Amino acid sequence: MSFDTSLPTNPEILTTTVGSYSPIDWLAALPSEQSVEDATAVVIHTQQRYGIDLPTDGELYRFDVNHPDTNGMIEYFISRLGGIDTNVGLTDARNFQEKQEMSFRRKPAGVVRGPIGEGSLDLQEACARSAAVANGPLKFTLTSPYMLARTLLDNHYAGLEELTLAIADALADQVSALPAACVQVDEANVPGSPENAPLAQKAINRILDKVNGEKAVHFCFGNYGGQTIQAGGWQPLIDFLNGLHTDHLVLELAHRPDDDLDALKEIDPKIKLGIGVIDIKVNHVETPDEVAARIQKATAAVGPGRIGWVHPDCGFWMLKRSIADRKMDALVKGRDLFLGR
């Protein structure tokens, strides 16, 4: 089967979603392979109906009713990579709690007891299942190695760097042939831990260097229970962002202070900016006028021609479908209003 992996080329500012979609009640009630495929088609076609230029698959390829709080962005990968044991005991939990930096988790997602390997992870199959029902270009997302490593108790490697790069290599081995127009790496921990930015950059670049299509990296300050969990700002991360081997960035900005926009002036012009203009941490549905005004404010801050994408701040998984769909509608109409279409 052939897939459409061509990226849309117009208009000059494209719309996309970040990854996850709102929970689908009937999928949770009757989960099965067929239900996931059917729900994926609904998610993609809903975005297309509202005019989203580059939809995502709602990340339903990693759907798991047992982990609704993180949308499977951690557990899907951890449970499949070789070398990681997801049977976490009392001693493991206590040792993990001593790490402190992941205080919002009581237990590690897994314990590294041997070398990281492919295990049962098959991103090509997961992406192909989504592409088969997309009827057009698709963006495929995966979690960054640094973010995954932070959730683990490491009983094998010499330290965080060695573990993070081992995960990066395992993921990089699978991305070169993904049938997607764009591959996006998601990172929500570095914005609050800029001291580890060089490590995160090195690991993410190992993946991006193997991607053949459009390369994107998404950054936010966390969305756990609909709330931010990382403190910080974009200014301390400018060198980190400029060193990424990416085509565009996907940045949380609608829920951020205005001075974060000013920092983005320093992003290398060769990297297109993706601007969050939809706040996913509130139920308020933006109007097209509000969206257009946010694009205008961002353009005034970073300069003309720098913004290539507009999107929500993060995924929709904490919002009801009725809210998410109306926000997508406003996103497209606001972009069109800004462009005078």
In this structure, what are the phi and psi dihedrals at residue 240, rounded to the nearest 5 degrees? -60, -50
Instruction: Give yes or no for residue 41 having a pLDDT over 90.
Output: yes
Average pLDDT, the chain: 91
Instruction: Give yes or no for residue 38 having a pLDDT over 60.
Output: yes
The stretch 331-336 carries a mean pLDDT of 98
Dist CA 59 CA 317 (whole Å): 10
C-alpha distances out from residue 16 to 49, 138, 182, Å: 13, 10, 11
Q: Report CA 73 to chain centroid distance, whole Å.
A: 9
Residues contacting 287, CB < 8 A, separation 6+: 330, 334
Instruction: Give yes or no for residue 224 having a pLDDT over 80.
Output: no
pLDDT, one tens digit per residue, over 60-101 is 999 877 765 556 788 999 999 999 999 999 998 898 888 766
The stretch 185-213 carries a mean pLDDT of 91
- Judged by average pLDDT, the poorest of 42-46, 94-98, 156-160 is 94-98
Secondary structure class of 203 (helix, strand, coil): helix
The stretch 97-117 carries a mean pLDDT of 83
pLDDT, one tens digit per residue, over 277-296 is 999 989 999 999 999 999 99
Domains of the chain are 14-339 (3.20.20.210)
Helices assigned H by DSSP within the chain: 25-29, 33-49, 75-78, 90-97, 123-131, 145-150, 160-172, 197-208, 238-242, 259-263, 288-302, 321-339
pLDDT over 70 for what percent of the chain?
A: 93
Instruction: Give yes or no for residue 254 having a pLDDT over 80.
Output: yes
Dist CA 240 CA 249 (whole Å): 12
Residue 341: predicted pLDDT: 83
> 259 vs 183, which has greater pLDDT?
183
Q: Which residue has the tokens 């913004």?
A: 307
Dist CA 147 CA 127 (whole Å): 21
Instruction: Give yes or no for residue 271 having a pLDDT over 80.
Output: yes
- Judged by average pLDDT, the poorest of 140-149, 226-235, 325-334 is 226-235
Q: What is the CA radius of gyration of the chain?
A: 19
The stretch 114-121 carries a mean pLDDT of 97
